[in-house]
Amino acid sequence: MPPINVLALCGSLREGSLNSAVAHTAAGLCRPPVSLTVHEGLGGLPFFNPDVERDCPPPEVLDFRARLAAADAVLITSPEYAHGTSGVLKNALEWVVGGGELVDKPVAVVTASPSMTGGDRAQAWLRETLEVMSARVLPAGLRIACAGAKITDGRVTDEATLAELGTLVAELARAGAEAPAGLSRGC
């Protein structure tokens, strides 16, 4: 079976981020031929500006786009800030609206929050945005409520959450295998 490459984007820049812990835990759950890489560069992207996009996108943006284009599937983990996603993640998504790197790309969305809601509003917000970008958003997402009690030392430790995350990543990998990178973009 050919390799299946999943790229994870985490919307939090915070050291000790719960959502970063989810992304890294997901990476640890993958077995060949599936591999998951956490992209650490979202904080280095400049603010989206259509003029810059048109004239000469900076190397950080080109690198981000290339990584997304090469991925067979994308896992997004996001905090909820003021009932939406983070500015960091929204900014990153804006850079790939025009290029279409997410078109037809399987994407799974996870939100982790210390609250009882598990970031459900950020989850809904992200799903709508990704759908309007024509990403293939998996119907199943994961909201991790009371996440502070389920994550220890940078890893998900709650057994039920680990099982749910494993199921979601397996489903994402399956979707990625069905629509390998390149083909999904009509290349």
The closest alpha carbon to 157, from 35, 48, 28, belongs to: 28
Q: How far is 67 from 83, CA to CA, in rounded Å?
A: 28
Give bridge partners of residue 4 from the DSSP assignment. 34
154 neighbors 14 (Cβ within 8 angstroms): no
Examine residue 18 and tell whether it contacts ligand FMN (CB under 6 A): yes
| Interface pick for ligand FMN out of 14, 62, 70, 163 (rule CB under 6 A) | 14
| Interface pick for ligand FMN out of 83, 98, 131, 149 (rule CB under 6 A) | 83
Examine residue 57 and tell whether it contacts ligand FMN (CB under 6 A): no
Examine residue 123 and tell whether it contacts ligand FMN (CB under 6 A): no
Q: How far is 151 from 112, CA to CA, in rounded Å?
A: 10
Please give the residues from 85 up to 114 whose contact with ligand FMN meets the rule CB under 6 A. 113-114
CB closer to ligand FMN out of 5 and 19 = 19
Q: Which helix (H) or strand (E) segment is 75 a member of?
A: strand 73-78
Examine residue 155 and tell whether it contacts ligand FMN (CB under 6 A): no
CB closer to ligand FMN out of 113 and 129 = 113
Report residue 105 CA to chain centroid gap.
Answer: 11
Examine residue 80 and tell whether it contacts ligand FMN (CB under 6 A): yes
Q: How far is 44 from 41, CA to CA, in rounded Å?
A: 5
φ, ψ of residue 31 in degrees (nearest 5) = -125, 150
Examine residue 161 and tell whether it contacts ligand FMN (CB under 6 A): no
Examine residue 17 and tell whether it contacts ligand FMN (CB under 6 A): yes
Residues binding ligand FMN (CB under 6 A): 12, 14, 17-19, 79-83, 113-115, 117, 119
